[in-house]
């Protein structure tokens, strides 16, 4: 694919817009692409990055990622017109609810981007969307305005420099009657959400992150144990989105 | 010019010398979404044990310069499920199947091998005596000459298919283990399995992999693998299957020149899902350019 635009959103979060040949029509919110870093000779493992937005009419894909290592650093330095090799869309995305459902979307840090495409899809279904976005601090904020197009957004920061002080669960004071929770973020956040809603009737879908080698289900590198701990599921193949009832968070 | 890519590994006839290495190709279904498996010389399925195994904790994989470390821990659903859910399907793909077998005891190995042979679905067995990522089940059998000879001898008595023994590079003299496997009755040898490595996360101040150590594979290990294949070919008169960092047709030819009859492709599948078909094409192109009709003409020429 070809780089259409590469924008820095915060000191370490970048938004990469890609165009060119891709199965845009097939994209489900929550799926990812697996990107070759350079020519792959020094970096043999592709980097899985979630799809933040897919524009079928414009034929473009937006990936939003945080620079955490050499692979994402390479991505952050791409220029308009550069070509990259990626596989996808891969994995299974978020199952969508019935029309007009009242849903809660919770994202933490670099887990936020795939929830953007989800909100677009939920909005098409006329869902009422409450959105909680958790960041480290005010300088870490990104995509908040974009999410505000689709729902009622509460932001949280760990240091209280913006919005509610504390983790995303601190923003859950008056629980509404949400039918479904969609979430992506650090494991402790997903666990806290599950605990918070343990006595409520709510379907929960979480998107997991794990180090991967193949990205297609062949290497069994990115597994997560099922709830009864008798089997495993592959984050890249059966996931990255799972019902929190089926896996051991 | 007509190039004949067909090779024989002992009694095993393959349409070409390229097969995905065990553990890098699952049971074939995932890559069958990218190309038809009947292009391959054979499919070598993931390490299979008697009972299901969940494998190690994650992180199980990490990248290193020009390679990777893995510590999957022989995750597999157990031989009965593998036969039922995987080999039944794979047997319909018109490609020879090699089942990689691992175990915690001689008895386990023998029972798995018996089940594979009885299923009638596989064309060969690859004995994994070199998995570096589990306490038992492999490496313990692959680093001691007597233990290895005894295991191969016992398995051979239960095995009606060609028996390939996969050697560990984590020994002082790999050729000694090759001789032991040959004495035990191996029909062929495959080498090398992964080298044992470690990578440290500076921020966390501990190893990246939950298992601490992992098997090192990829481009970076190719010179070690070529040297080891060379050393084994010098001392053992068995068909050899070479692997370790093969990414191109030329990489594959290096192994052939030091005596390999066929080759396996591991990490390259992750970098490029079309690695195996590309390598097959590149071997044919190289042969054509060099005026070689059959790989036998150059096999072992660098020994």
Whether residue B228 contacts residue B202, with contact meaning beta carbons closer than 8 Å, is answered with: no
| pLDDT score at B1 | 57
pLDDT-derived band at A218, boundaries 50, 70, 90: very high
* Inter-chain residue contact A44 with B54, CB threshold 8 Å: no
pLDDT-derived band at B227, boundaries 50, 70, 90: very high
pLDDT-derived band at B135, boundaries 50, 70, 90: low
Instruction: Set out the domains of chain B in order of their start, with CATH numbers.
Output: 7-297 (3.20.20.70)
| pLDDT score at A173 | 80
pLDDT surpassing 80 at residue B283: yes
Say if strands B163-166 and B188-191 run parallel, antiparallel, or are unpaired.
parallel
| pLDDT score at A176 | 79
Other C-beta atoms closer than 10 Å to the C-beta of B54 total: 18
* Inter-chain residue contact A44 with B62, CB threshold 8 Å: no
| pLDDT score at A51 | 98
> Which residues are CB-neighbours of B254 under 8 A, at least 6 positions away?
B222, B226, B302
pLDDT-derived band at A203, boundaries 50, 70, 90: very high
Whether residue B17 contacts residue B70, with contact meaning beta carbons closer than 8 Å, is answered with: no
Helix axis angle, B249-257 to B222-235, nearest 10°:
30
* Inter-chain residue contact B58 with A87, CB threshold 8 Å: no
Query: A226 — contact with chain B (CB < 8 Å)?
Result: no
> Which residues are CB-neighbours of B47 under 8 A, at least 6 positions away?
B22, B23, B74, B76, B100, B101, B102, B128, B131, B138
First-to-last alpha carbon distance for chain B, in angstroms, is 27
Q: Tokens representing B118?
A: 């009885």
Pick from A88, A221, A222, A225 the residue to mutate for testing the B interface (most B CBs within 10 Å): A221
Overall CATH class of domain A102-207:
alpha beta
Query: A141 — contact with chain B (CB < 8 Å)?
Result: no
Pick from B21, B23, B30 the residue to mutate for testing the A interface (most A CBs within 10 Å): B30
Taking CA atoms, B30 is separated from A102, A233, B69, B90, in Å, by 37, 14, 21, 11
Average pLDDT, chain A: 96
Q: Tokens representing B44?
A: 């070598």
Q: Which residue ranges make up each domain of chain A? A: 2-90, 102-207
Q: Tokens representing A173?
A: 């004071």
* Inter-chain residue contact A45 with B61, CB threshold 8 Å: yes
Residues of B with CB under 8 A from a CB of A: 23-26, 29-31, 33, 46, 52, 54-55, 58-63, 65-68, 70, 72, 75, 77, 218-219, 267-273
The stretch B244-248 carries a mean pLDDT of 98
| pLDDT score at B140 | 75
Of A77-86, A171-180, B221-230, B240-249, the range with the lowest mean pLDDT is A171-180
| pLDDT score at B130 | 76
Q: Which residues of A touch B63 (CB under 8 A)?
A: 43-45, 71
Q: Which residues of B touch A208 (CB under 8 A)?
A: none
* Inter-chain residue contact A44 with B30, CB threshold 8 Å: no
* Half-sphere exposure for B156 (CA within 13 Å, toward CB): 16
The stretch B1-23 carries a mean pLDDT of 94
Nearest CA in chain A to B72: A221
* Inter-chain residue contact B26 with A219, CB threshold 8 Å: yes
Name the phi and psi angles at B243, rounded to 5: -160, 160
Separation of alpha carbons B165 and B183, rounded Å: 12
Q: Which residues of A touch B25 (CB under 8 A)?
A: 218
What letter would DSSP give residue A210? -
- DSSP secondary structure, A1-33, as one string: -EEEEEEE-SSSEEEEEEESS--GGG--TT-EE
Percent of chain A with pLDDT over 90: 95
pLDDT-derived band at B96, boundaries 50, 70, 90: very high
Please report which helix (H) or strand (E) contains residue B221, including its range: none
The stretch B3-13 carries a mean pLDDT of 96
Q: Which residues of A touch B72 (CB under 8 A)?
A: 219-221
pLDDT surpassing 80 at residue A174: no
pLDDT surpassing 80 at residue A209: yes
What tens digit of pLDDT does each residue of A88-124 get? 999 999 999 999 999 999 999 999 999 999 999 999 9
Name the phi and psi angles at A11, rounded to 5: -65, -25
pLDDT surpassing 60 at residue B138: no
* Inter-chain residue contact B54 with A216, CB threshold 8 Å: no
Beta strand ranges found along A91-193 (DSSP E): 102-108, 128-135, 152-157, 164-165, 180-184
* Nearest beta carbon to residue B72 from set A215, A219, A229: A219
pLDDT surpassing 60 at residue B64: yes
Separation of alpha carbons B229 and B257, rounded Å: 10
Q: What is the ipTM of this complex?
A: 0.94
Whether residue B126 contacts residue B99, with contact meaning beta carbons closer than 8 Å, is answered with: yes
Tell me the CATH number for domain A2-90: 2.40.30.10
Q: Which residues of B touch A42 (CB under 8 A)?
A: 65-66
Alpha-helical segments (H) within chain B? 29-32, 79-81, 88-90, 106-119, 139-142, 145-156, 174-184, 222-235, 249-257, 268-271, 275-290
pLDDT-derived band at B136, boundaries 50, 70, 90: low
What tens digit of pLDDT does each residue of B166-200 get? 999 999 999 999 999 999 999 999 999 999 999 99
Name the phi and psi angles at B114, rounded to 5: -60, -45
Pick from B26, B34, B218 the residue to mutate for testing the A interface (most A CBs within 10 Å): B26
Active site residues of B: 131
Q: Which residues of B touch A36 (CB under 8 A)?
A: 271-272
pLDDT surpassing 70 at residue A70: yes
Tell me how many residue pairs between chain A and chain B have CB atoms under 8 A apart. Answer: 96
pLDDT-derived band at B93, boundaries 50, 70, 90: very high
> Any idea of the CA torsion for A213, A218, A220, A221, to the nearest 10 degrees?
0
Separation of alpha carbons A215 and B291, rounded Å: 39
Whether residue A106 contacts residue A51, with contact meaning beta carbons closer than 8 Å, is answered with: no
* Inter-chain residue contact A232 with B272, CB threshold 8 Å: no
Q: Tokens representing B237?
A: 């008169």
Nearest CA in chain B to A43: B66
Q: Which residues of B touch A232 (CB under 8 A)?
A: 54-55, 75
Separation of alpha carbons B174 and B142, rounded Å: 10
Whether residue B92 contacts residue B242, with contact meaning beta carbons closer than 8 Å, is answered with: no
Q: Tokens representing B226?
A: 């070529």
Q: Tokens representing A239?
A: 């996931």
């Amino acid at each position: 694919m070809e780089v259409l635009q590469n924008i820095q959103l915060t000191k370490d979060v970048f938004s990469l817009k890609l165009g060119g040949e891709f199965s845009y029509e097939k994209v489900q919110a929550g799926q990812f692409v697996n990107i070759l870093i350079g020519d792959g000779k020094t970096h043999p493992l592709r980097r899985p990055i979630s799809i933040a937005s897919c524009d079928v009419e414009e034929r473009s894909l937006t990936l939003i990622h945080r620079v955490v290592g050499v692979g994402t650093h390479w991505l952050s330095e791409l220029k308009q017109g550069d070509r990259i090799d990626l596989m996808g869309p891969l994995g299974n995305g978020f199952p969508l609810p019935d029309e007009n459902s009242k849903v809660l979307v919770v994202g933490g840090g670099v887990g936020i981007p795939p929830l953007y495409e989800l909100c677009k899809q939920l909005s098409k279904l006329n869902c009422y969307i409450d959105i909680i976005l958790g960041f480290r601090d005010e300088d870490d904020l990104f995509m908040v305005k974009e999410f505000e197009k689709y729902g009622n957004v509460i932001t949280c920061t760990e240091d209280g420099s913006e919005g509610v002080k504390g983790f995303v669960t601190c923003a859950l004071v008056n629980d509404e009657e949400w039918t479904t929770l969609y979430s992506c973020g650090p494991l402790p956040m997903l666990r806290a959400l599950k605990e918070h809603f343990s006595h409520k009737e709510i379907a929960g879908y979480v998107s997991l992150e794990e180090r991967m080698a193949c990205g297609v289900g062949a290497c069994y590198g990115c597994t997560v144990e099922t709830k009864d701990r008798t089997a495993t599921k592959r984050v890249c193949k059966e996931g990255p989105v799972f019902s929190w009832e089926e896996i051991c968070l | 010019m007509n190039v004949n890519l067909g090779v024989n590994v002992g009694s095993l006839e393959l349409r070409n010398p390229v097969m995905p290495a065990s553990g890098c190709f699952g049971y074939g279904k995932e890559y069958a979404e990218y190309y038809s498996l009947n292009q391959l010389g054979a499919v070598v399925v993931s390490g299979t044990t008697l009972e299901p195994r969940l494998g190690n904790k994650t992180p199980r994989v990490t990248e290193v310069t020009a390679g990777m470390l893995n510590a999957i821990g022989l995750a597999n659903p157990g031989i009965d499920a593998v036969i039922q859910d995987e080999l039944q399907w794979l047997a319909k793909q018109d490609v020879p199947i090699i089942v990689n077998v691992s175990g915690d005891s001689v008895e386990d190995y023998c029972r798995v091998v018996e089940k594979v042979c009885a299923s009638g679905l596989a064309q060969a067995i690859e004995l994994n005596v070199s998995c570096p990522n589990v306490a038992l089940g492999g490496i313990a059998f692959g680093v001691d000459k007597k233990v290895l000879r005894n295991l191969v001898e016992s398995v051979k008595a239960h095995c009606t298919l060609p028996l390939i023994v996969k050697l560990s590079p984590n020994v002082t003299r790999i050729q000694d283990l090759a001789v032991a496997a040959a004495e035990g009755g191996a029909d062929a040898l495959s080498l090398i399995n992964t080298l044992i490595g470690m990578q440290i996360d500076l921020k966390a101040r501990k190893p990246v992999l939950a298992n601490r150590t992992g098997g090192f594979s990829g481009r970076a290990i190719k010179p070690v693998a070529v040297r080891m294949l060379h050393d084994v070919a010098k001392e053992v008169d068995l068909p050899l299957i070479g692997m370790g960092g093969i990414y191109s047709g030329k990489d594959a030819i290096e192994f052939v020149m030091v005596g390999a009859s066929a080759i396996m492709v591991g990490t390259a599948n992750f970098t490029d899902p079309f690695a195996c078909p590309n390598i097959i094409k590149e071997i044919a192109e190289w042969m054509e350019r060099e005026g070689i009709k059959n790989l036998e003409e150059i096999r072992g020429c660098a020994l």
